A and B are shown apart, each in its own frame.
Chain A
Amino acid sequence: MKRICLIAVLVTLPFGTQAQPVAEAILKSHIFPRFEALATASSDLANKAQESCAPASKELRGAYHAAFDAWVSASHLRFGPTERQDRAFALAFWPDSRGATPRTLAALIADKDPVATSADAYGDVSIAARGFYALEFLLFDDTLKAAGDPAYHCALVQTVSSDISNNASAILVDWTSRYAGIFLAPGPEGRYRSEEEVLQELLKALSTGLQFTSEARLGRPLGTFDRPRPNRAEARRSERSARHVALSLSSLQDLAIRLAGLDTALAADFSAKFAIAQNGLTALNDPVFKTGASLQTRIKVEVVQQNVDSIRSVVTQELGPTLGVAAGFNSLDGD
C-alpha cells in the first residue's frame, strides 16, 4: 500500500509543480507563434487580393497557400478565442458533406448579393461561404472561379480574404489581450481551476486534432473499400490534401512532445511514431489522395491512418493519465 502511494506521489508531483512552466512554454512557443503567423499571412492575403483578384494570379494564390498553411498549423487549437463568435468555423467550414459551400457561393454570385462588397457585412453570411474553403472554390474550382460577373467575382474574392484576415486578427488579439491571462492564471473562480486543467485543455486539443486528421483528412477520401471517394479529399482543388496531413501532424507532434514534458521516454516514443506517419505520407507521394487509382495506394493511406490512430492511443492511454485524465471505458466514450 505504501509503495502504491509513493508511486502515485512520484507520478503526480512533477506535473503538479511544473504545470505552469509547461503551459507558459506552450503558450509562448506553440500557441502564440501559430496565431501570429496566421494573422500575418491572412493580412498579406487580404492585401494581395486587393492588388490582384484574378483567380489565376500567382501572387494571390501564393498568399492563399501561405495563409492556409498557417491556419492548418493552428487548426488543432480549438478552444477560447477560436470558438468565440464561431471564428474558427468561419475560417474553416469543412467537412462540407452536403456541398453547402459551393451552393451558397453560387447563390451569392447568381444574385450579385451586395453583401460581398463589405467584409464587415460579410460576417453575417452563412459560415459555409466564408473562410479558406470558400476561397479555394473561388480560386480553383472550374465552375466557381469563372462564375458570374468578373467584377462581382473580384469583390467576393477580396471580401472573403478580408473576412479571413479580420477573423485571424481577432483571434490573435483575443489571445494576447484576454485569454493568455486566463490560460496562465488558473484559480478557483477561473475557467481553469488548476494548472492541470490548462494542460487537460491542451491534451484534448491534441487528441481531437489527431482524430480529425485520421477521420476527416485521411478518412474522407478513403471512403469504403468498394467505393473510394477521392473527390472528398480536403482542399483537393488546390492540391493541398496531403500537405494538410503533414502540417497538422507536425504541429501535433510539437504539442505532444511539449506535453510529455520531462517524460523523455514518452517524448521519444511520440517522435518515433510521428516520424513513421510522416515518412509513410512522404512515400505515398500523392498530394490529393487519389486512392481510387490502386489498391496499393489505398493500403498505404490506411497505414498512415493507423499510424495516426496509434499516436492517439498513446495520448489517451499514457499521456492522459499523467495529466489527470483517466483513460476510462466510459469517460473516453463521448456518446
Chain B
Amino acid sequence: MARAGRRAFLSGLLAAGMVARPSWADAGSPVFLSAAAVPDGGYLLCGITANFDVVFRIPLPGRGHAAAAHPTRPEAVAFARRPGTFPMVIDCATGQRKATLSAPEGRHFYGHGTFSADGSRLYTTENDFAAGRGRIGIWDAHQGYLRIGETDSGGIGPHDIARLPGSETLVIANGGIDTHPDSGRTKLNIPTMRPNLAYLEESELVETATLPKPWNKNSIRHLAVSATGKVAFGMQWQGDGPAPALIGLHQRGQAPHVVHVEGEDIHAMRGYIGSIAFADQGKTIAATSPRGGILQFFDAHRRTLIRTAQIEDVCGVASHDGGLTATSGTGRILQPSVSNKWSTHHRNLRWDNHLIAV
C-alpha cells in the first residue's frame, strides 16, 4: 500500500472508531515518569510501572528535571534542567520524538509544565529574562505543540505548575528569584525577592498568596495538589542561617499557612525541599530533603510532622493509588509508607529530581 493510501486508510479507521487510539497501555502502562542519568554520562526519560520496573528508556540530549504526562495519549514532555531550552515531546509507545518545543526569543524554560484536563493544551513555566518576569507559555498539543500564546505568571521565577483537579485553574509556584542567562545560575535579587503562589484562570490572574514579609526569602518551588484543591508547597530557604519553615499549605480564598517544624527536624531538612506530594486522600503530605537525605511525613490538617525516614539522596516523590513512591539519586524506587518498605534498586540509574505520576 502506498504511504498516503495507508495513512488515509488508517485515519479512516480511526474516524470510524475501528482502531483504538494509542494509549498509555501501548507504552507498557507506566504509572510514573522520571528523568535519570546513566553512568556513562547520558540522560534518559524513563517509564516506571506499578511494580517499579522500567518499561521504557528514552535518551535525552541533556540533564532532565521534571516531565508532564499527557492525560490520554502515551505522550510525555521531558523538560531540561533550567535554564533549559529543549522540552521534548516523546511518543512513549514508539520512543520517537514527536516535537521539540523551542523557547521564543528572550525566554527560557524552568523545567516544569502541565496539561489542561483534556490534554489539548500544555502550559510551561518560563523566564522573560529581559523583563525579569515569569511567563506561562501556552502550547497546542493537538497541533504539534504549536505555541499559541503566553501570559504573565504573576511573579518572578515561576518553577512548578499544577492544575487544580476538576478545573482549568492553574497554580504556579513563583519562586521569586530573578536570574538571567548572561550570569548562569547567579541569583540577582535576593534582598528584594517576593515569592508567591499565583492562580490563573483563562490566562487571568485570579488570586495570589504570599507569605508575610519575614518569609520573603523562602523561595516557593514545588507543588502538590489534593483532590479537594488544597495546595501544598515546598520551599528553599535563601536567607542566612536556619530556615524558619519549608512546607506550606494553601486553600483558595484563605491565607497560606506554614507547617511548623522545630529543632532537629527542621535542621535535618537543610533549608531545601526537593519534591512534595499528597497521600492518604490528602491527609498526609510527604516532602523530600535530598541534602538531608530524608523524607518526612506531615499531617496536612494539623500541620505537624508525623515522622522522618532516612533515604540517601532521595528527591522524587509522587502518589499513585493513594500510596506514595519515592526515588533517589542512588537508583532506588521505594514505598516509604509505614508498613511497606518494598523497594527496587536500579543500580545503573540515578533518578533525577522529580517523579511524575501518569
Binding site for B on A (CB under 8 A): 79-80, 83-84, 86, 89, 95-98, 127, 191, 193, 211-212, 214-216, 219-220, 223, 229, 232, 326, 328-331, 333-335
Contacts and interface: CB of A to CB of B under 8 A. Distances in A.
Nearest to B290: A330
Contacts of A84: 240
A83 B240 contact: yes
B183 A97 contact: yes
A328 B329 contact: yes
B180 A95 contact: yes
Given A83-B239, A326-B312, A331 B183 contact: no
Interface stretch (B117-125, B185-193, B335-343): B185-193
B34 to A, nearest CB: 11
Given A86-B191, A97-B180, A331-B293, A215 B185 contact: yes
26 contacts: A80-B241, A86-B190, A96-B188, A98-B130, A98-B132, A191-B241, A191-B242, A216-B184, A216-B186, A229-B182, A232-B182, A326-B312, A328-B290, A328-B293, A328-B330, A329-B329, A329-B351, A329-B352, A330-B352, A330-B353, A333-B274, A333-B315, A333-B353, A334-B272, A335-B81, A335-B82
B200 interface: no
Interface size range of chain B in the complex? 35 or more
Majority SS at the chain B contact face: loop
B190 A89 contact: yes
A335 B239 contact: no
Nearest to B36: A329
Given A216-B183, A330-B314, A335 B291 contact: no
Contact of A328 (B129, B185, B312): B312
| 6 nearest A-B residue pairs (beta carbon) | A215-B184, A329-B329, A83-B240, A328-B313, A330-B315, A97-B180
B166 to A, nearest CB: 30
A329 B350 contact: yes
B307 interface: no
B313 A329 contact: yes
B356 to A, nearest CB: 15
Contact of B313 (A95, A127, A214, A330): A330
Interface string B311-347: 0111100000000000011100000000000000000
A220 B183 contact: yes
Nearest to A96: B188
Contacts of B313: 326, 328-331
A326 B328 CA distance: 13
